Structure 1
Amino acid sequence: MLASGVQVGQLMTIGIMAIALGLDAFSLGIGIGMKGIRLLDILKISVVIGIFHVLMPLMGMFMGQYVSLLLGNVATAAGGCLLILLGAHMVYSSVRGEEASSFDHRTLWGLTIFALSVSIDSFSVGVSLGMFASDIVLTVLIFGLFGGLLSIAGLMLGRRVSGWVGEYGEAFGGLILLGFGIKFLL
């Protein structure tokens, strides 16, 4: 009975961590969704984010504990810089109008950059996660599931809100990305 209580406690802890990591994908998905996004693109982005939320903690776990302090700060700073660049580009594109090309989530490069920027914090969590996670496969699958589901929710909400915001949706979405990038750097 005690063993199952410990397992439930571990599962709850992993679930809470997965939700916390997935909230980045949710909030940044709102920003991308405000640009206007097709349902197929929402599905593609969410699947890729889910995959990154599985791979990044796995890579972190395999990197080991001896580099956790160094890589935790570097990974967060790199994610923040990526978000600032993406957000600034979106704001610039919306201000310039049709002449400037915006961040394109439909390209492989754009999709990879976006998924990496919302999943980079999973890497640093993965570095320290190996200490108490008894089932690594279950842990990263839960991370991937919540990352994908919360990104769907954020993208859908952003898509819905974009109709209310109109032509300023891309600029507002870029400001959201900028804000989160600055938050990661501070």
Structure 2
Amino acid sequence: MPSFYIAEFASLLFMALALGMDAFSVCLGIGMQRIRLKRIALIGLVIGLFHFLMPFAGIILGHVISTRIGELTSVLGGIILFGIGAQMLFSGFVYKAKKVIQPIGFGLYILSFSVSIDSFSVGLSLGLSGVETALALFLFGTMSTFLAWTGMLVGKKVHTILGVYSEVLGGSILCGFGLTLLFG
């Protein structure tokens, strides 16, 4: 029984890492601008809060749906995770010039919402599969906050193409978890 909890924790930790990769890659670009440490702290906290709230809303909706459709929940959850991961993976290979939203005022909320929208869908699939809610939300919020901070701090120091590769890695991880739910 304890090995089940360790496996669930490890799965949620890797999923939190995958979800936070969007925040990391976006914050890497933000960090390349002249930005103060106080602003970096605030941006990371708001992104973490959104990565907590969005999957929470998804988990609640997923629980409601799972009571209605029963055994199809794990299949539906796997399809959703795989779809999100595939979208992240393919968008990592498509280069587009992106206009950077300034992380000030309302722009900070738009930025946080945009990098956490995929965690709503992941929360929906987790609600369908009946995962430990408090642990998932804590890990998603904490990991995305940490990755946002890391991205901005690394962005201040390095001007590389690492952001694209982090989105590809995150998409690959979510695809793997989706396939595991479908076939494992």
CA distance in 2, matches of 1:33, 1:133: 37
Could you tell me which residue of structure 2 aligns to residue 122 of structure 1? 119
Structure 1 residues 86-165: aligned runs within 5 Å:
88-90=98-100, 103-107=101-105, 109-161=106-158
CA deviation profile, 1:77-105 (whole Å, cap 9, x unmatched): 8xxxxxxxxx6434xxxxxxxxxxxx321
Task: Quote the RMSD (CA, aligned, Å).
Answer: 3.3
Pairwise CA distance, 1:139:
1.1
Q: 1:24 aligns with which of 22, 30, 38?
A: 22
Per the alignment, residue 90 of structure 2 pairs with none
Report what 1:84 is aligned to: none
2:54 to 45, 53, 56: 56
Write the deviation string for residues 118-155 of structure 1: whole angstroms up to 9, x where unpaired: 11110000001124454211110111000000000000
TM-score by length of 2: 0.67
CA contact (8 A) 2:61 2:127 kept: no
Amino acid at match of 1:139: A
Query: Where do 4+ consecutive residues of structure 1 move more than 6 Å?
Result: 71-74
Matches of residues 8-19 of structure 1 in structure 2 within 5 Å? 8-19=6-17
**Alignment coverage as a number of residue pairs:** 148
Can you give the 5+ residue segments of structure 1 that lack an aligned partner in the other structure? 78-86, 91-102, 166-171
Letter in 1 for 2:150: A
Query: With structure 1 as the length reference, what TM-score do the two structures score?
Result: 0.67
Identity rate, percent:
36
Q: Is the 8 A contact 1:133 1:139 kept in 2?
A: no
**Distance in 2 separating the partners of 1:59 and 1:148:** 19
CA distance in 2, matches of 1:143, 1:10: 14
Structure label with greater radius of gyration: 1
CA distance in 2, matches of 1:9, 1:131: 18
Q: Which consecutive unaligned segments of at least 5 residues does structure 2 have?
A: 70-75, 88-96, 172-184
